[in-house]
Amino acid sequence: MRPNDHPTTVGLVQTRYFTFAEDEPFRLESGASLSPVTLAYETYGTLNRDRSNAILILHALSGSAHAAGRHHPDDPKPGWWDDCIGPGKAFDTERFFVISSNVIGSCYGSTGPASIDPTTGKPYGLRFPVVTIGDMVNAQVRLLDHLGIDTLLCAAGGSMGGMQVLEWAAHHSHRLRAAIPIATTAHHSPMLIAFSEVGRQAIYADPNWNRGDYYDRAVKPDAGLAVARMVGHITYLSERSMQQKFGRRLQGRERYGYEFQTEFEVESYLKYNGSKFTRRFDANSYLYITKAMDYFDLAARHGTLAAAFEQAQHIKFLVISFTSDWLYPSYHSKELVAALTAAGCDVTYLDIESSWGHDAFLLEVDTMTRLLSSFLDRLADETH
Q: Which are the contacts of 155, defined by CB distance < 8 A and separation ≥ 6?
A: 55, 56, 58, 164, 165, 168, 169, 176, 178, 179, 180
Are 271 and 102 within 8 A, CB to CB?
no
Q: Which are the contacts of 83, defined by CB distance < 8 A and separation ≥ 6?
A: 89, 362, 365, 368, 369
Q: Which are the contacts of 235, defined by CB distance < 8 A and separation ≥ 6?
A: 195, 326, 327, 358
Cα 300 to Cα 139: distance, rounded to the nearest angstrom: 22
Cα 184 to Cα 77: distance, rounded to the nearest angstrom: 26
Phi, psi of 79 (to 5 degrees): -60, 160
**Residues catalogued as catalytic:** 159, 325, 358
H or E stretch including 295? Answer: helix 283-295
Cα atoms in the Cβ-side hemisphere of radius 13 Å centred on 206: 22
Please work out, in degrees rounded to the nearest 5, the angle formed at the alpha carbon of residue 127 by the alpha carbons of 101 and 146.
Answer: 25
Cα atoms in the Cβ-side hemisphere of radius 13 Å centred on 366: 2
3-state SS of the chain: helix, strand, coil percent to 5? 40, 15, 45
Phi, psi of 110 (to 5 degrees): -85, 160
Residue 17 has a CB neighbour count (10 Å cut-off) of 12
Are 42 and 109 within 8 A, CB to CB?
no
Minimal CA–CA distance to 377: which of 32, 95, 93? 95
Residue 122, helix vs strand vs coil: strand
